[in-house]
Structure 1
Amino acid sequence: MRLMYLLAVLAKMKLLTPAGIGRLLAALFRCGTNLMTLLKIAQSTHGQKIALVDERETVCFQQLWTDSLRLSGVFKEKYGLAKSKQVGFLCQNHIALVRAIFAASGTGCDVYLLNPEMSAGQLRQLFDEVELDLLIHDEKQTATIEQAGYAGASLYSYHEHLPAINQLLGECSDWSDERLASVPVPARSSAGKIMLLTGGTTGRAKKVPHKPSLFHYLPPFLALLSQLGLLRLNTAYIATPIYHGYGLAILLLFVALGKKTVITPGFAAAKACELIARHKVEVVSVVPLMLRKMLHHDPAALQSLVCIASGGAPLATGLAAEVSAELGDCLYNLYGTTEAGLCVIATPGDLRHRAHTIGQKIPGVRLHVRNVRNSDQRPCKAGEIGQLCVKAGGSLFFKRQAWIETGDVGYRDAAGYYYLCGRTDDMVVSAGENVYPVELARVLVEHPAIEDATVIGIPDEAFGQRLKAFVQLASHAGLTETQLQQWLRQKVARYQMPKEIVFVEQLPYTELGKPDRKQLM
């Protein structure tokens, strides 16, 4: 089975030719199986083709490889990075971050990708648990890092005078080809882990290690190539944060495919629309909130898009239909977890007939809906709500044969399509009934006067728990709580009716496009 996936991927990437096989073997011999292997294959295949574009610069694959190799050598010599060492990244999206991720992986150290929005208290907690040998960060994070009490070695991503990635590259810009060829890259047994963090803004982050492994990522890689049609597209834009598993996976995919990739620090709808129009972007990775903002800002600027890969949060009601009306059938809904990676894909055809589905599971992934309250934990029948549990091979934290409890609640229909109802810790038990806040939120946004809505559970003396809705009205809309309550009674069950409705000017969201319920509580 693994050989079949490998051959299929290599065939789609045109690496089964004699020249392609030669490039693959040379990269494996030079780099083993860490991220530098991926970059080496891209460099030898695509050379002077543009690899990355950001607000500061544009680099080709040859330059990205050379810069990353130089940095890897400097990381070893100046900072002692090697196997069992640990380096943290506290950066937004830019080329310095990408160079440094590849370079650090090339030393064999463990790479920690951290959310730059983490508070000083959350960082302090992380620094108490993990002794970093080097912290690479943006200048704007300096004060937060100092407040967190970090006293280890640090390096700016960019700085005009102080030690930074751009300064290091300037210092080793005159390295000869012989010097570059002598930079060692760890063997397979010495390749470090990529540490992704779940959460990080609303609570205690959980560390999830991933080992760079060719075979672990073949099924999702092949699924993305086959279902999203990425091979025929040339220019991509990553709007999602690279520090998140979704953003990193899309970055590595685009590098492997030799795509020109545009990245930006942070997200602004106006800037995103301008970049898509200027670079004639064909494929973009977004969370649903980003997509909705771009559509509302300037849909005409998005006409070059052929593939919109949305993930990281559930699709808002009506968003798939809005995209189809404005841009045609180009929206794909991706579902995965930090622990297991990509699990499910919904195509435009799926969304046309099942607007709320997250799709069908990809080959190579085992996915069950389980009622975790049952001692035997047998899979639920079609239509029964339970927790999504997955088996996939990308994580070290879980053994390959262990079922991963995703924490997401949903169900599977008779045709094999999956749907999300919320999170296990979001579920409300009201007078003995299991109530899922996201289901009420979906109904609320169907009202023509409502732009957005978020629902949470609150304590209630009579029923144990009830729902509380936060509603953002559309521009110039007039709606009272009494009117909305009357409208809802025709749409939802009695136990789904909110105890309280609060109208707000703007609902808060995290950087990953998820409702920031902590600010609402």
Structure 2
Amino acid sequence: MVEYMVDWWEKRCYLTPDHIAVVDGETGERLTYKELNIKVKRLAVRLQAQGIRKGDRLALLAPNHVAYLEWLFACRLLGAVLVPLNWRLATLELASILADCTPKLMGVHSRFATLSAELQASHAMTVFSLDDSETMEIDTVVDKNAAVDPEDPYVMIYTGGTTGKPKGVVLSHRSIFWNAANTVVTWNLTASDVTPTFMPMFHTGGLNALSLPVLHAGGTVVVVQHFDAEHTLELLNREKCTIALLVPTMYHMLIQSPAFAGAVFPTMHTFLSGGAPCPLPVYQAFEAKGLSFKEGYGLTEAGPNNFYIAPHDAVLKRGSVGRPMLYNDVLLADDDGSEVSIGEVGEIWLRGGHVFHSYWNRPEATLEVLSPNGWLKTGDLGKRDTDGFYYIIGRKKDMIISGGENVYPLEVEHQLRQHPAVSDAAVVGVPDEKWGEAVSAAIVLAADCSVTKEELIEYCSASIGRYKVPKRILFMIELPKTAVGKIDKSRIIANMVQYGNEA
């Protein structure tokens, strides 16, 4: 028996047809739920005319655009699988992803016309222009040739890892629904919420962190193609935004903007950081302005929303991501899978309806991270305090073992970033004959500031154990980033190995 799957999008459009669903942050164009749903149904009919059926993969190559929502909900009608492509990848990388997911059709924004032509040359598929202005009336009902099951694949997002071949993370209809519902209920989202989507919508943060939960609640999503600090400050007030998600790099740029000092945000109730642990100076900058700021944690394979923390708790428990959300469980496990004690570091395991379905065509990799009783082994490390608040320590694979001692890079990074001459820092372990791994730091200096390696070592030694203090320091103009904006520690290690202790 096929489990019944509620079409929540259709219900939402029926309940609040005249409320604004989406705003184009570049042009200001607005679409109500009714208007957006009309575009969704027109697209579904046209895709069906192209032979798209249940289970077919549809690739999408576009900057942040309302088309992401049109294609997502059209896929829901057809039972097709949306594969948003990371356009920041090299052509060969994208070609490899297409070869893996074998899409029948690819939607392309005009900005990527040349790139799509190169990709089409290596992969046989129909190219569908997003700029086609056809405005056909809905005179054909979408033919649902098979019922949609909650476990059916809905979205496939390729991981942005820095090593190995990217894996297609299959999110089922169940995964998408439960992340949205869990977020709405736990974070108290309502139809009055307005969120800007700066995070790339080919990324789970752009699609699932706030965009879909806010639409689930009947709120408004402002889709923004480019991040610029001054433009962001203006847009938040112009569109009367209430909750925003940015990555730490964006917040770093925001607080350094001259306009930030005088900015006020009368409608904003929450500034949320995600994607990577947030430096303490960002907390301090928002706290100094009396603004609610907190941190979240997630990953493509789970949600990405897993914790909730109230703004007043975020001030008292600085650096904490809070407690588990209403409809998911969290376990901190040791190497044997047993729960660690309060205050001890363990691997974060997650369980709930929002957890991903599988890795596309990678059954062995799926079994490595999904336990038989439903736990997802994230590979991230965390700890829990006596009040039940969780803290992210870093990636398990990033943990440094130096002279037999465990060193967690995030702790050292927090210390380095507190130095007034340091704008940003990343700590890695570099192979070393004596220590096994040498704690090493890549440093970006603040504007018009200088500091020596010896001064930084002395500064750290005053607050953290000697075994945690960086033995090597490399000054860089900027920290290398991955295609989704995270610090690329593998490249930092390579630079450390190449240049040693030289600036």
TM-score strictly above 0.5 = yes
Contact 2:193 2:214 (C-alpha < 8 Å) held by counterparts: no
Alignment partner, residue 204 of structure 1: 165
Task: State the secondary structure of the residue aligned to 1:271.
Answer: helix
For these two proteins, the number of residue pairs brought into alignment is 468
Task: State the secondary structure of the residue aligned to 2:280.
Answer: coil
Q: Is 1:269 the equivalent of 2:210?
A: no
Label 1:38 to 1:295 Cα distance change in 2 as closer, same or farther (>3 A).
Answer: farther
Q: Is 1:431 the equivalent of 2:392?
A: no
Quote how far apart the aligned CAs of 1:512 are.
3.7
Whole-angstrom distance in 2 between the partners of 1:227 and 1:292 = 28
Residues 80-99 of structure 1: pairs in structure 2 closer than 5 A? 80-99=51-70
Quote how far apart the aligned CAs of 1:94 are.
0.7
Q: Is 1:352 the equivalent of 2:315?
A: yes
Label 1:88 to 1:201 Cα distance change in 2 as closer, same or farther (>3 A).
Answer: farther
Label 1:403 to 1:133 Cα distance change in 2 as closer, same or farther (>3 A).
Answer: same
- 1:402 alignment partner AA: G
Alignment partner, residue 365 of structure 2: none
Alignment partner, residue 14 of structure 2: 44
Contact 2:110 2:130 (C-alpha < 8 Å) held by counterparts: no
Label 1:400 to 1:262 Cα distance change in 2 as closer, same or farther (>3 A).
Answer: farther
CA distances 1:72-111 after superposition (whole Å, capped 9, x unpaired): 0000102x11112111122221112221222123211122
Task: State the secondary structure of the residue aligned to 1:381.
Answer: coil
- 2:131 alignment partner AA: N
Alignment partner, residue 337 of structure 1: 299
Quote how far apart the aligned CAs of 1:210 are.
1.7
Label 1:223 to 1:74 Cα distance change in 2 as closer, same or farther (>3 A).
Answer: closer
Contact 1:335 1:344 (C-alpha < 8 Å) held by counterparts: yes
Whole-angstrom distance in 2 between the partners of 1:146 and 1:431 = 53
Q: Is 1:392 the equivalent of 2:352?
A: yes
Identity %: 26
Whole-angstrom distance in 1 between the partners of 2:21 and 2:42 = 17
Q: Is 1:118 the equivalent of 2:89?
A: yes
Q: CA RMSD in A?
A: 2.4
Task: State the secondary structure of the residue aligned to 2:326.
Answer: coil
Whole-angstrom distance in 2 between the partners of 1:70 and 1:302 = 41
- Segments of 5+ residues of structure 1 without an aligned counterpart are 1-31, 156-162
The 4+ residue runs of structure 1 with deviation greater than 4 A are: 142-149, 200-203, 220-223
Aligned counterpart in structure 2 of residue 282 of structure 1, from 242, 253, 270: 242
Aligned counterpart in structure 2 of residue 445 of structure 1, from 417, 428, 448: 417
Label 1:83 to 1:222 Cα distance change in 2 as closer, same or farther (>3 A).
Answer: closer
Aligned counterpart in structure 2 of residue 195 of structure 1, from 156, 163, 181: 156
Task: State the secondary structure of the residue aligned to 2:255.
Answer: helix
Quote how far apart the aligned CAs of 1:513 are.
3.8
Contact 1:123 1:145 (C-alpha < 8 Å) held by counterparts: no
- 1:370 alignment partner AA: A
Quote how far apart the aligned CAs of 1:469 are.
0.8
Alignment partner, residue 416 of structure 1: 388
- 2:307 alignment partner AA: V
Aligned counterpart in structure 2 of residue 257 of structure 1, from 199, 214, 217: 217
Task: State the secondary structure of the residue aligned to 1:350.
Answer: helix
Whole-angstrom distance in 1 between the partners of 2:329 and 2:187 = 21
Alignment partner, residue 322 of structure 1: 285
Label 1:140 to 1:201 Cα distance change in 2 as closer, same or farther (>3 A).
Answer: farther
Alignment partner, residue 128 of structure 1: 99
Whole-angstrom distance in 2 between the partners of 1:496 and 1:142 = 49
Task: State the secondary structure of the residue aligned to 2:323.
Answer: strand
Aligned counterpart in structure 2 of residue 476 of structure 1, from 440, 448, 452: 448
Quote how far apart the aligned CAs of 1:345 are.
2.0
Residues 33-72 of structure 1: pairs in structure 2 closer than 5 A? 33=5, 37-54=7-24, 55-56=26-27, 57-72=29-44
Contact 2:170 2:357 (C-alpha < 8 Å) held by counterparts: yes
Contact 1:343 1:362 (C-alpha < 8 Å) held by counterparts: yes
Whole-angstrom distance in 1 between the partners of 2:321 and 2:196 = 22
Whole-angstrom distance in 2 between the partners of 1:400 and 1:41 = 34
Quote how far apart the aligned CAs of 1:133 are.
0.4
CA distances 1:437-481 after superposition (whole Å, capped 9, x unpaired): 222111101112211111121111111111221111222222111
- Segments of 5+ residues of structure 2 without an aligned counterpart are 359-369, 495-503
- 1:224 alignment partner AA: T
Q: Is 1:367 the equivalent of 2:330?
A: yes
Quote how far apart the aligned CAs of 1:235 are.
2.4
Aligned counterpart in structure 2 of residue 231 of structure 1, from 159, 168, 190: 190
Quote how far apart the aligned CAs of 1:497 are.
1.9
Quote how far apart the aligned CAs of 1:222 are.
5.3
Whole-angstrom distance in 2 between the partners of 1:203 and 1:347 = 37
CA distances 1:460-510 after superposition (whole Å, capped 9, x unpaired): 111111122111122222211111112222122122121211222222334
TM-score, normalised to structure 2, is 0.86
Moved more, 274-283 or 419-428: 274-283
Q: Is 1:165 the equivalent of 2:136?
A: no
